[in-house]
Structure 1
């Protein structure tokens, strides 16, 4: 199975998203940088699916719509890269450096999180609002609930993928890179960007320029996170 066959077509449920990420995991080499992020994101999405089934979201329909629109952004980027169509700028560093021997798994994971939260989340909120016919404020509870899950998963990522203390002593640049990025700040910025894009929805030229600049800025941060560390 090719990567594109694993992600082709729009998703309609969180279960569909989970199935496509599992299919992608089955065809990607374990050390591939995209595979590293996919494993992290799959764990997040499985947890969201479990909590939806357990009735833990205030509005399950809104939470599912947000999660599906969010995941589609990532799956579309994978499909674009597979088809040589060029993914958004925020994703390009990860796809370009996915096989670099001197980039650590933790860097790959956080670069993917940076692209997905910093760029895709804001656009997914707008997509979900259009799907549901609501305002961003009506999705804030779901946004916050998903954010809590992401924060918990980020902590697990750092625990599972962080090199041991001996390596960190030898690789101070990694400590510096990771300390310069914050998921909480990225989430706050994504919510502000979503509200701005919604306010600009009747001004497509300005909204398009805003989105393009956001994409470029997040891509620049991703390239910094993926700075190769000499061994």
Structure 2
């Protein structure tokens, strides 16, 4: 699967979501979230919110192709970046809850793929001109996170209870985590943009290792998080296809067909 523009990215993600829904495949959880983020980015491009819309189209295309490459490699022979292998490797694990699947995808795509996509879009000194548009995506991500959090609450009654007790603390943590990760991704994008191809290979490998370690922590947390996840697992909806449909409609628009 290869995208040439942002429309191809949206269509490719919609295809993955639709097939996952038919097959009851949990890969559709993150794909549904990612599709909605991409749709919102496309809307922002069309509305002229970015300083350079065509550049953001190219950026989002590079970003999407990173995901498609990892997805295709996993489907082909279980290969691909370490962090994506950790993520896809848990798709058949019924004990991994919905929010963990979402966080695993977010971790791999932001902590590895985002910096690579930015550096490919604006190599060398051109990377600095990308910063404002790069940061604007934080606002788009925040709006999607809010909608998806509401969707997860409907699917996971215990998550909803935690929200009421904690004042949506989990959503605030997720939003902060995404913003923090994107700040680190920007630093790494600037680093990659100024490196030789050989240096980039070393840096990307380092980012992959770090994201893989984070994936293991998300998948197997310690402390009080473990019993909380067990309660979430016991109470949340276990119909994978229905969960995908619900997540894919979180923004209130048309879901993938």
TM-score normalised according to structure 2 size: 0.75
**Residue 141 of structure 2 corresponds to residue 146 of structure 1:** no
In the alignment, does 2:58 pair up with 1:71? no
In 2: Cα distance, 1:107 partner to 1:12 partner: 30
Spell out, residue by residue over 1:129-164, the C-alpha distance to the aligned partner (whole angstroms, 9 max, x if none): 14xx86111111210122221122223222321433
Identify the residue that residue 28 of structure 2 maps to in structure 1.
35
What's the counterpart of residue 5 of structure 1? none
Instruction: List aligned pairs for 1:150-161, cutoff 5 A.
Output: 150-161=141-152
Q: Counterparts of 1:111 and 1:79 in 2: how far apart (Å)? A: 17
1:191 alignment counterpart: 186
How far residue 57 of structure 1 moved from its aligned partner, in angstroms, is 1.7
Structure 2 residue 84 is the aligned partner of structure 1 residue 91: yes
Is 1:25 the counterpart of 2:17? The answer is yes
- Pick one of 7, 13, 16 that aligns with 2:5: 13
Distance in 2 separating the partners of 1:94 and 1:112 = 6
The residue number in structure 2 matching 1:106 is: 99
Paired residues for 1:158-173 under 5 Å: 158-162=149-153, 163-165=156-158
CA gap of 1:161–1:134, structure 2 versus 1, over 3 A, is same
Deviation at 1:167, TM superposition (A): 7.7
- How large is the RMSD of aligned CA atoms in angstroms? 2.4
In structure 2, distance between residues paired with 1:223 and 1:156: 26
In 2, the alpha carbon distance for the partners of 1:32 and 1:213 equals: 30
Q: Which has the higher contact order (CA 8 A, sep 6+)?
A: 2
Moved over 6 A (4+): 166-169
Distance 1:156 1:20 in 2: 22
- Consecutive unaligned residues of structure 2, counting only runs of 5 or more, are 163-168, 221-225, 235-257
**2:69 partner SS:** helix
What is the alpha-carbon distance in structure 1 between the residues aligned to residue 35 and residue 177 of structure 2? Answer: 21
Are 1:136 and 1:198, in contact at CA under 8 Å, matched by a contact in 2? yes
Compute the displacement of 1:54 (Å): 2.1
**Change beyond 3 A, Cα 1:90–1:154:** same
**For 1:207 and 1:16, how far apart are their aligned partners in 2?**
27
Q: How far apart, in 2, do the equivalents of 1:113 and 1:50 lie?
A: 21
Is 2:152–2:159's contact at 8 Å kept on the other side of the alignment? Answer: no
C-alpha displacement of 1:111: 1.1
Q: CA, structure 1 residues 167+151, in 2 after alignment: closer, same or farther (shift >3 Å)?
A: closer
Shift of 1:65: 1.0
Cα deviation, residue 183, structure 1: 0.7
Residues 197 and 66 (structure 1), Cα distance of their counterparts in 2 relative to 1, 3 Å cut: same
SS at match of 2:184: helix
